[in-house]
Copies of this chain bind each other. A is one copy, B any other.
């Protein structure tokens, strides 16, 4: 399998830092890892924790992009398209000035793929190939201080090539993830976004929504009642809403990017909730039981 030798990670936070650390630890096919991050504290932590070989501010990207094989953009969804675009422009400028034979591949780790692939699916300027990627791994932490080189071991990474994507570019990104123990699966950007809407985005919207509902239910009478509702949460609320504890801004961005698929899943969920409501209202135990039993069976297969 084709192996890249130099990787530039743009954005050395939780995901970028974990990727860097994993590649640094990988002994059989050594990579040279260059980090790019605008946050000087992140740069210090990344070097101290040996998540990268070297790290530089964004302005120096062009200077350090010579001989790069793969650029992995690990920035927030709301700046992702701009960062991908400016990386590719720097690479093109470098190629023009230095004559280079191995064309670099750009990939990313964003949670929503259709809008990005619609923009960059056929590759970017000067045919620098872009391969959409999304590792299904923890998103509750943020910053390189939480980076975990074992994060992707045995985890699923979804790549979303489109018709125009160069298969060799996909293979290079696949080999990067496989070298650190991840399992790679390919699907279309649309399939990815629908699957994620159901399995991740909807659950998050519901978890945040449940907290808001509890807040509203406690609110009308007095603050003591709201606090008390929280105190009695031993019965489920706490575990259930752990995923709503962080990253509100990130989830807002995901919802704004993946509108249509999320709305489809909310609609389906509202139908189920109406069924449950109806069965409780008319005291229809058997029908309610049927839904709860099936849900229990499905949960066991997870």
Contacts and interface: CB of A to CB of B under 8 A. Distances in A.
A199 B288 contact: no
Contact of A293 (B155, B248, B293): B248
- Most B CB contacts (10 A, CB to CB) among A228, A293, A300 go to A228
A39 to B, nearest CB: 22
A202 interface: yes
A273 B239 CA distance: 20
A217 interface: yes
Chain A binding surface SS class: helix
A74 to B, nearest CB: 16
The number of times this chain is found in the oligomer is 2
Interface string A263-292: 111111111110011001101010011011
Determine the interface band of chain A, counting residues with CB < 8 A from chain B.
35 or more
Given A266-B276, A273-B266, A280-B259, A235 B136 contact: yes
Contacts of A236: 199-200, 203-204, 207, 243
Contact of A289 (B218, B231, B243, B249): B249
Interface string A228-270: 1111111111111111111111011101100100111111111
A298 B239 contact: no
A301 interface: yes
Contacts of A301: 230
A216 B259 CA distance: 19
Contacts of A232: 136, 156, 158, 195-196, 199-200
A2 interface: no
A270 B220 CA distance: 17
A96 interface: no
A79 interface: no
A295 B231 CA distance: 16
A243 B269 CA distance: 18
Contacts of A263: 277, 280-281
B272 A216 contact: yes
14 contacts: A136-B234, A156-B231, A196-B235, A200-B235, A206-B273, A207-B240, A208-B295, A209-B272, A213-B268, A230-B302, A237-B302, A248-B296, A249-B289, A256-B285
Interface of A: 111, 136-137, 139, 155-156, 158, 195-196, 198-218, 228-249, 251-253, 255-256, 259, 262-273, 276-277, 280-281, 283, 285, 288-289, 291-296, 298-302
